[in-house]
Structure 1
Amino acid sequence: MGNQLNISSFEYLLGTIIKEEISTSVINLYKKQHYSSKKYLTIKEVSAMTGIGSSVVRQLTLSRAMPHRKIKSRIVLDEEEIKETIDNYRTVGWTDPDKTWDVKTVQSEIDKFHKSKEEPKMIDEILRKIIREELACFSNEIKNYAKKDKESYYGRTVLTIKEAADHFRTSPSTIYSLIKEDGMPHFKIYSRHYIVLEEAEAYLWRETAKSYADEGNIYWQRILQRLDWEEKERNAAYEKALKRLEESTY
Structure 2
Amino acid sequence: MDKYPSNSFEGLIESIVTEEISQILTNYKEPKGSTERKEYLTIKEISSLTGIGIYTLRQLTYRRAMPHLRVKSKLLFVEKEITQTIRDYKEYGWSDPDSNWDVEKVQSEIEKLQAKKEDPVMIDEAVRKIIREELEDFSKEILSQTKKDKEKYYGRTVLTIKEAANYFRTSPATIYSLIKEDGMPHLKIHSRFLVVLEEAEAFLWRETANSYAEEGNIYWQRILQRLDWEENERNLAYEKALKRLEESTYN
TM-score interval (norm. to shorter): 0.7 to 0.9
Paired letter, 2:142: N
Who is 2:47 aligned against?
47
Q: Deviations over 1:81-116 (max 9, x none)?
A: 222222222332221111110111111222222113
CA 245–36 in structure 1, closer or farther in 2 if over 3 Å, else same: farther
Q: How does 1:222-233 map to 2 (within 5 A)?
A: 222-233=222-233
Conservation of the 8 A alpha-carbon contact between 1:41 and 1:78: yes
Does residue 206 of the first structure (1) align with residue 203 of the second (2)? no
After TM superposition, the structure 1 stretch with the greater mean CA deviation from structure 2, 195-204 or 144-153, is 144-153
Who is 2:142 aligned against?
144
Aligned residue pairs: how many? Answer: 235
Does residue 104 of the first structure (1) align with residue 104 of the second (2)? yes
Paired letter, 1:75: L
CA 128–243 in structure 1, closer or farther in 2 if over 3 Å, else same: closer
TM (normalized to structure 2)? 0.79
Equivalent position SS for 2:106: helix
Paired letter, 2:105: T
Who is 1:183 aligned against?
183
Paired letter, 1:136: R
Unaligned stretches of 5+ in structure 1?
A: 1-7
CA distance in 2, matches of 1:247, 1:128: 15
Who is 1:4 aligned against?
none
CA 32–226 in structure 1, closer or farther in 2 if over 3 Å, else same: farther
Who is 1:219 aligned against?
219
Kindly state the Cα deviation for residue 207 of structure 1 after the two structures are TM-superposed. Answer: 0.6
Unaligned stretches of 5+ in structure 2?
A: 1-5
Does residue 133 of the first structure (1) align with residue 129 of the second (2)? yes
Kindly state the Cα deviation for residue 219 of structure 1 after the two structures are TM-superposed. Answer: 0.5
Paired letter, 1:159: L
Kindly state the Cα deviation for residue 136 of structure 1 after the two structures are TM-superposed. Answer: 3.4
Q: Deviations over 1:34-63 (max 9, x none)?
A: 244201110111111222222221111000
Equivalent position SS for 1:144: helix
Equivalent position SS for 1:211: helix
Q: How does 1:53-202 map to 2 (within 5 A)?
A: 53-117=53-117, 126=122, 129-130=125-126, 133-134=129-130, 136-137=132-133, 138-141=135-138, 142-145=140-143, 147=147, 150-202=150-202
Q: What's the RMSD between the two structures over aligned residues?
A: 3.3
CA distance in 1, matches of 2:56, 2:216: 20
Equivalent position SS for 1:159: strand
Identity %: 61
CA distance in 2, matches of 1:227, 1:39: 23
CA 73–239 in structure 1, closer or farther in 2 if over 3 Å, else same: same
Kindly state the Cα deviation for residue 244 of structure 1 after the two structures are TM-superposed. Answer: 4.7
After TM superposition, the structure 1 stretch with the greater mean CA deviation from structure 2, 234-243 or 156-165, is 234-243
Paired letter, 1:221: Q
Equivalent position SS for 1:143: helix
CA 249–225 in structure 1, closer or farther in 2 if over 3 Å, else same: same
CA 247–127 in structure 1, closer or farther in 2 if over 3 Å, else same: closer
Conservation of the 8 A alpha-carbon contact between 2:126 and 2:240: no
Q: Deviations over 1:150-176 (max 9, x none)?
A: 421221221111111111110000000
Paired letter, 2:129: E
Paired letter, 1:39: E
CA 126–187 in structure 1, closer or farther in 2 if over 3 Å, else same: same
CA distance in 2, matches of 1:51, 1:249: 63
